[in-house]
Chains A and B, each alone.
Chain A
Amino acid sequence: MINISNALDNLVDEFSKLPQIGRKTAMRLAMHITRQPKQDVERFSRALTEIKDRLRFCSVCCNITEDEVCNICRAGSRKHGIICVVEEPQDVFAIEKTNEFRGKYHVLHGIISPLDGIGPNDIRIKELLDRLSRSGDDKVEELILALNPTVEGETTILYLSKLLKPLEIKITRIARGIPVGSDLEFADEVTLAKALEGRILI
Chain B
Amino acid sequence: MILKRIVLKNFRNYSSQEITFNDKFNFIYGSNGQGKTNILEAVSYSTYGKSFLGAAESDCVKFGSNEFFVESDFINDLGNKDFIVISYDKLKKSKAVHRNKQKVNSFSAEVFGRFPLVFLSPKSLNITYGNPSDRRKFFDILISQSSNLYLDQLKELAKILRQKSALLREYSIHKKYKLADLKNLLNSYNEKLSEFSAKVLFKRLNFLKEFESYFDRNFQFLLKQDHRGKISYYSDITKEVFPEDALPEREELKAFTEKLLSEKYEDEIKRAVTLAGPQRDDYIFKLTKYGKDLNKGTDTFELKNFASQGEHKTFLLALKLSEYDYLKSTKSTSPVLLLDDILSELDEDRVSKIISHLKDYGQIFLTTTDRNYINRLKSFYSDSEISEFKIEEGKVI
Q: Which 10 A-B pairs have the closest CB atoms?
A: A158-B188, A114-B166, A114-B167, A151-B159, A115-B166, A190-B152, A155-B188, A159-B188, A189-B149, A188-B109
Interface residue B138 (Cβ < 8 Å from any Cβ of A): no
The complex places the Cα of A120 from the Cα of B109 at a distance, in Å, of 33
Instruction: Give the chain B neighbours of A188 by CB distance below 8 A.
Output: 109, 148
The complex places the Cα of A114 from the Cα of B149 at a distance, in Å, of 26
For residue B365, give the distance in angstroms from its CB to the closest CB of chain A: 30
Tell me the chain A residues, 71-101 only, with Cβ under 8 Å from chain B.
Answer: none
Interface residue A47 (Cβ < 8 Å from any Cβ of B): no
Say yes or no: B185 contacts A120, CB within 8 Å: yes
Nearest A residue to B164 via CB reads: A114
B interface footprint on A169-193 (CB within 8 Å = 1, 0 otherwise): 0000000000000000000111001
Q: Most chain-A CB neighbours within 10 Å: which of B162, B184, B185?
A: B185
26 A/B residue pairs, CB under 8 Å, sorted by A: A113-B163, A114-B166, A114-B167, A114-B185, A115-B163, A115-B166, A119-B177, A120-B177, A121-B181, A151-B156, A151-B163, A155-B160, A155-B188, A155-B189, A158-B187, A158-B191, A158-B192, A159-B184, A159-B185, A159-B188, A162-B187, A163-B184, A188-B148, A190-B109, A190-B148, A190-B152
Interface residue B176 (Cβ < 8 Å from any Cβ of A): yes
Tell me the chain B residues, 89-144 only, with Cβ under 8 Å from chain A.
Answer: 109
Interface residue A13 (Cβ < 8 Å from any Cβ of B): no
Interface residue B345 (Cβ < 8 Å from any Cβ of A): no
Instruction: Give the chain B neighbours of A119 by CB distance below 8 A.
Output: 170, 176-177, 181, 185
B interface, over-half SS: helix
Interface residues of A (CB under 8 A from B): 112-115, 117, 119-121, 151-152, 154-155, 158-159, 162-163, 188-190, 193
The complex places the Cα of A120 from the Cα of B181 at a distance, in Å, of 8
For residue A63, give the distance in angstroms from its CB to the closest CB of chain B: 25
Nearest A residue to B191 via CB reads: A158
A interface footprint on B241-280 (CB within 8 Å = 1, 0 otherwise): 0000000000000000000000000000000000000000
Q: Say yes or no: A190-B149 contact (C-beta < 8 A), given A113-B163, A154-B192.
A: yes
The complex places the Cα of A151 from the Cα of B149 at a distance, in Å, of 16
Number of B residues whose C-beta is below 8 Å from A?
Answer: 25
The complex places the Cα of A159 from the Cα of B170 at a distance, in Å, of 17
Instruction: Give the chain B neighbours of A115 by CB distance below 8 A.
Output: 162-163, 166
Instruction: Give the chain B neighbours of A114 by CB distance below 8 A.
Output: 163-164, 166-167, 169-170, 185
Interface residues of B (CB under 8 A from A): 109, 147-149, 152, 156, 159-160, 162-164, 166-167, 169-170, 176-177, 181, 184-185, 187-189, 191-192
For residue A41, give the distance in angstroms from its CB to the closest CB of chain B: 31
The complex places the Cα of A151 from the Cα of B184 at a distance, in Å, of 16
For residue A57, give the distance in angstroms from its CB to the closest CB of chain B: 23
Say yes or no: B162 contacts A162, CB within 8 Å: no
For residue A197, give the distance in angstroms from its CB to the closest CB of chain B: 10
Say yes or no: A155 contacts B192, CB within 8 Å: yes
Instruction: Give the chain A neighbours of B185 by CB distance below 8 A.
Output: 112, 114, 119-120, 155, 159
Say yes or no: A162 contacts B148, CB within 8 Å: no
Say yes or no: B187 contacts A117, CB within 8 Å: no
Q: Most chain-A CB neighbours within 10 Å: which of B148, B156, B163?
A: B163
The residue that B188 contacts in the complex, of A121, A162, A190, with Cβ under 8 A, is A162
Say yes or no: A152 contacts B163, CB within 8 Å: yes
The complex places the Cα of A121 from the Cα of B166 at a distance, in Å, of 16
Instruction: Give the chain A neighbours of B156 by CB distance below 8 A.
Output: 151
Say yes or no: A162 contacts B149, CB within 8 Å: no
Instruction: Give the chain B neighbours of A152 by CB distance below 8 A.
Output: 163
Instruction: Give the chain B neighbours of A193 by CB distance below 8 A.
Output: 149
Instruction: Give the chain B neighbours of A121 by CB distance below 8 A.
Output: 181
Instruction: Give the chain B neighbours of A117 by CB distance below 8 A.
Output: 170, 176
16 more A-B residue pairs beyond the given contacts A119-B181, A119-B185, A163-B184, with a C-beta to C-beta distance below 8 A: A113-B163, A114-B163, A114-B167, A117-B170, A119-B170, A120-B177, A151-B160, A154-B192, A155-B189, A155-B192, A158-B192, A162-B188, A189-B147, A189-B148, A190-B149, A190-B152
Nearest A residue to B170 via CB reads: A114
The complex places the Cα of A63 from the Cα of B169 at a distance, in Å, of 32
For residue B249, give the distance in angstroms from its CB to the closest CB of chain A: 15
Instruction: Give the chain A neighbours of B147 by CB distance below 8 A.
Output: 189
Instruction: Give the chain B neighbours of A112 by CB distance below 8 A.
Output: 185
The complex places the Cα of A154 from the Cα of B176 at a distance, in Å, of 21
For residue A120, give the distance in angstroms from its CB to the closest CB of chain B: 5
Nearest B residue to A113 via CB reads: B163
Instruction: Give the chain A neighbours of B176 by CB distance below 8 A.
Output: 117, 119
Nearest A residue to B166 via CB reads: A114
Instruction: Give the chain A neighbours of B167 by CB distance below 8 A.
Output: 114
